Amino acid sequence: MALDPHPDTFSVEFLLNGRATCAENLPPHTTLLDFLRSRGLTGAKEGCAEGECGACTVVMVKDRRAGTAYVPVNSCLLFLPMAAGQEIYTVEALAGNGSLSEVQQAMVDYGGSQCGYCTPGFVMSLFAEQHRPGREGPCDPHSMAGNLCRCTGYRPIRDAARELGPAPEGAFRARLANPAPRLVPVSCPGFSRPGTLAECLALMAGHPEARLIAGGTDLVVEANLRQRRFPYLIGVEALEELRVFRASAEGIEIGAGLSFAEIDERWRAMAAAPPVPRAWDDWVPLFASPLIRNRATLGGNLATASPIGDGAPLLLALDARVRIAGPRGERMTPLDSFFLDYRRTALEPGELLVSILLPAPLPAAARFYKAAKRRMDDISTVAACFAIDLDDGGRVLRARLALGGVARVPLRAVEAEEAILGRRWNQDAVRRARDVLARTLHPIGDHRGSAAYRLALAGSLLEKFWWEQQEELAA
């Protein structure tokens, strides 16, 4: 496919399959996928252009907690300027000297490919898994959970994954002995990637029309499917201020620009941090796919302010506050006053999210639930996170009942919380809270679920939370 030259063109450089590559004279909304295919690298396919199928998977070299890693991402969700300075490999790089890589050979041996449309995507996810630093035992088939196959069926693909041993000796393994490229500032027509928060704020002040872009998993979908064009994009990927992960007596501070995969790794690796709450363990696998979680950020999820976004209920139940930076300095805001109306937040022009603070102590019991049409990799009909602290007598000391998909904004059901405060946490309390939820929530019905269905879900998820706690206490 030939890409047309464009008047507002740009030029960016990156490492592609080990070679310095320059992309020039292209429209700024060109995706990495379109660029690769225009270069004849047609292994990566377009199945959906919205991050759902994984046919476009490529890997980026990134520094991860356990070492340098190949991180699989959806190339359909990267505007080409976001690739500047990155090191990227496509499926074409894997086979060498006339022989397939181990991952490709395993797919052949186990019959993991029929039409082959999805296969390069599976191969790239599995290649990254085979080389995952610190991996012990067989490859995890869930590493390919963002890749869909319509003809082979997943058993042969799973068998291929389980067959693979350690990453083979060779150039790909050797590459991981050195750090990933450090992202440097970039500026080209229509796109800038500043290197510091101060530079970012100055750019935002100078370009009031600009949109921030982090992982791009919301914005690039808008461009691909709804033909949205953004006059000016400011990438936050190189801002170290948005990549903190700190634990202190005050709580945990999570940078708004860290991907979900990075947050998960850092939290588990940090001995000084409170243990990962059960609600986080519930939440992570239900959020999209590994490919999306390698790019998507909390800043992007909260700023999008979708009433069915999954980040808000989790963070509301953990009593989160957000750190906001802008032309007048920094301020902290409780997350429960951040969502003003449908897709409208408390961010003023020129402001951005820097981090999210989860105050200590984290709740003693917190669970996250997501009801959707599919169990995995789907958009919520209703998402809920409930957190309860009890006193020694089993009475409710603190309750946080947070919900998404039941109003124009994600919210805390404060009246229901008040109805159970100081009461024994028993079925009577659950009934009281359910009655208040039924009276105070006013969900909007749509193709995912009627208002009545959403209301019923909110109550039954709370009941489920209670029952699960009883089971835990009994265990």
Ligand X SMILES: Cc1cc2nc3c(=O)[nH]c(=O)nc-3n(C[C@H](O)[C@H](O)[C@H](O)COP(=O)(O)OP(=O)(O)OC[C@H]3O[C@@H](n4cnc5c(N)ncnc54)[C@H](O)[C@@H]3O)c2cc1C
Residues 216-245 that bind ligand X (CB under 6 A): 216-219, 221, 236, 242
The minimum distance between CB 151 and ligand FES, in angstroms, equals 4
DSSP structural state of residue 141: G
Please, which residue, 120 or 255, has the CB nearer to ligand FES?
Answer: 120
Backbone φ, ψ for residue 62 (5° rounding):
-135, 150
C-alpha separations of 325 from 198, 315, 344, 351 in Å: 9, 19, 17, 6
Q: Are strands 365-372 and 211-213 parallel, antiparallel or unpaired?
A: unpaired
Show the binding pattern over residues 15-54: x = contacts ligand X (CB under 6 A), - = does not: -----------------------------------xxx--
Q: Which does 221 bind (CB under 5 to 8 A by kind): ligand X, ligand FES, none?
A: ligand X
Q: Are strands 352-359 and 321-326 parallel, antiparallel or unpaired?
A: antiparallel
Alpha helices, DSSP H, located in 237-317: 260-269, 278-286, 290-293, 298-304, 311-317
> Are the beta carbons of 317 and 363 closer than 8 angstroms?
yes
The minimum distance between CB 372 and ligand FES, in angstroms, equals 18
> Are the beta carbons of 387 and 317 closer than 8 angstroms?
yes
How many other β-carbons are positioned within 10 Å of the β-carbon of residue 459? 19
Q: Indicate whether 130 belongs to the interface with ligand X (CB under 6 A).
A: no
- C-alpha–C-alpha distance, residues 395 and 260, integer Å: 34
Please identify which residue in 316, 352, 433, 458 interacts with ligand X, judged by CB under 6 A.
352
- C-alpha–C-alpha distance, residues 179 and 419, integer Å: 54
Show the binding pattern over residues 307-346: x = contacts ligand X (CB under 6 A), - = does not: --xxx-----------------------------------
* Interacting span for ligand FES (CB under 6 A) from 1-9, 149-157, 200-208, 437-445: 149-157
Q: Which two tokens stand for residue 406?
A: 């039941």
Q: Indicate whether 76 belongs to the interface with ligand FES (CB under 6 A).
A: yes
Please, which residue, 216 or 363, has the CB nearer to ligand FES?
Answer: 216
Q: Indicate whether 113 belongs to the interface with ligand X (CB under 6 A).
A: no
Q: Indicate whether 52 belongs to the interface with ligand FES (CB under 6 A).
A: yes
> Are the beta carbons of 402 and 422 closer than 8 angstroms?
no
Please identify which residue in 36, 41, 56, 411 interacts with ligand FES, judged by CB under 6 A.
56
Q: Which residue has the tokens 């290649």?
A: 127
Q: Are strands 19-26 and 10-16 parallel, antiparallel or unpaired?
A: antiparallel
Q: Indicate whether 49 belongs to the interface with ligand FES (CB under 6 A).
A: yes
Residues 97-136 that bind ligand FES (CB under 6 A): 113-119
Q: Which does 47 bind (CB under 5 to 8 A by kind): ligand X, ligand FES, none?
A: ligand FES
Q: Which two tokens stand for residue 125?
A: 């996810």
Please identify which residue in 152, 294, 301, 345 interacts with ligand FES, judged by CB under 6 A.
152
The minimum distance between CB 183 and ligand FES, in angstroms, equals 22
Nearest Cα to Cα of residue 330 among 207, 241, 454: 241
- C-alpha–C-alpha distance, residues 428 and 434, integer Å: 10
Distance between terminal CA atoms of the chain?
Answer: 60
How many other β-carbons are positioned within 10 Å of the β-carbon of residue 187? 12
The reply to whether omega before 361 is within 30° of 0 (cis) is yes
Q: Which does 117 bind (CB under 5 to 8 A by kind): ligand FES, ligand X, none?
A: ligand FES
Cα torsion 97, 101, 104, 108: sign: positive
Q: Indicate whether 210 belongs to the interface with ligand X (CB under 6 A).
A: no
> Are the beta carbons of 75 and 220 closer than 8 angstroms?
no
Q: Which residue has the tokens 């024994």?
A: 424
Q: Indicate whether 83 belongs to the interface with ligand FES (CB under 6 A).
A: no
Q: Indicate whether 160 belongs to the interface with ligand X (CB under 6 A).
A: no
Q: Which does 353 bind (CB under 5 to 8 A by kind): ligand FES, ligand X, none?
A: ligand X
Q: Indicate whether 139 belongs to the interface with ligand X (CB under 6 A).
A: no
> Are the beta carbons of 57 and 117 closer than 8 angstroms?
no
Please, which residue, 75 or 301, has the CB nearer to ligand X?
Answer: 301
Q: Which does 151 bind (CB under 5 to 8 A by kind): ligand FES, ligand X, none?
A: ligand FES
Q: Indicate whether 333 belongs to the interface with ligand FES (CB under 6 A).
A: no
Show the binding pattern over residues 259-288: x = contacts ligand X (CB under 6 A), - = does not: ----------------------------xx
Binding site for ligand FES (CB under 6 A): 46-49, 51-56, 74, 76, 113-119, 149-152
Binding site for ligand X (CB under 6 A): 50-52, 211-219, 221, 236, 242, 256-257, 287-288, 292, 295-297, 299-301, 303-304, 309-311, 347, 352-353
